[in-house]
Amino acid sequence: MPPATSTAPPTPPPPWTPTDPRSTRVATASPHTDSPPPTAADRTRHAGAGDLHSAPTQAAGFIGTVSDGRAGGGEHTGSGQPGLVPGVAAPLLRLAARVIDLVVWLAIGAAANRLGGGIRGITLWALGLVAYEAITTAVLGGTVGKRLLGLSVSGRSFRPSDPVTAVGRALALVGPFYPLWVANLLPAFISAPMRLAALVYVFVNLVLVFTGAQREAVWDLVARTWVVRRSPS
């Protein structure tokens, strides 16, 4: 008589444990979505891409963060005020730099007056100021006053201003004052309103620099520039 054989059920195979990362993604995919969960490599790639609106940079020696300059977005950039780009110059520092530059402006005006009086001298003065502002901004990164106080003019991506931007900024700065200087040669009933308009224009720029989203004057808004602090070299 043959020996009895065991009738126990066969042992089930061990649970499937995939080792291929691609198989892991398929095995752990959620049944409620067609997209597999991100792997460690995916998370690394996304983290490396970053957010262009908050990535810190010190391009061209500037202190700051790349930003599109939009105010009111609630972005805390580390400057203590939402939406204010780090590195943007303090208003009083900008004002001090402009006071220094006014000395240069007066020197240019004195030289222009020696070359001709009246409308000719005023025109030469205005052209000299545009040249001074544009050349120093394009070549040095800022005027004499700004350089002495550690400031520079930069584009919205914290890159130095190109020559075209520098000329446009200089024209937007000097241009509105030219009619006032010409009006000083005219009778008082014409020059008086022009002086008042000039005072209003200066006041508006002070308000923008002291309270604006990125401390921008009218010429900064026109040329899309910022005045920023330079990083220590």
Please name which of 133, 139, 143, 161 lies closest in space to residue 224, comparing C-alpha atoms: 161
Summarize the confidence of residues 132-161 as an average pLDDT: 90
Phi-psi region of 27 (alpha: psi -120 to 50; beta: other; left: phi over 0): alpha
pLDDT greater at residue 11 or residue 168:
168
- The whole-number pLDDT of residue 70 equals 36
Average pLDDT over the chain, rounded to an integer = 74
Q: For 108-126, how does the pLDDT look when each residue is reduced to its tens digit (9 = 90+)? A: 999 998 988 888 999 999 9
* pLDDT interval class at 42 (50, 70, 90): low
- The whole-number pLDDT of residue 65 equals 40
What are the residue ranges spanned by the domains of the chain? 91-229
The answer, yes or no, to whether residue 141 has pLDDT greater than 70, is yes
Q: How far apart are CA 134 and CA 228, in angstroms?
A: 17
- The whole-number pLDDT of residue 86 equals 63
Q: How far apart are CA 107 and CA 97, in angstroms?
A: 16
Q: For 198-231, how does the pLDDT look when each residue is reduced to its tens digit (9 = 90+)? A: 889 899 999 999 998 888 999 999 999 999 987 6
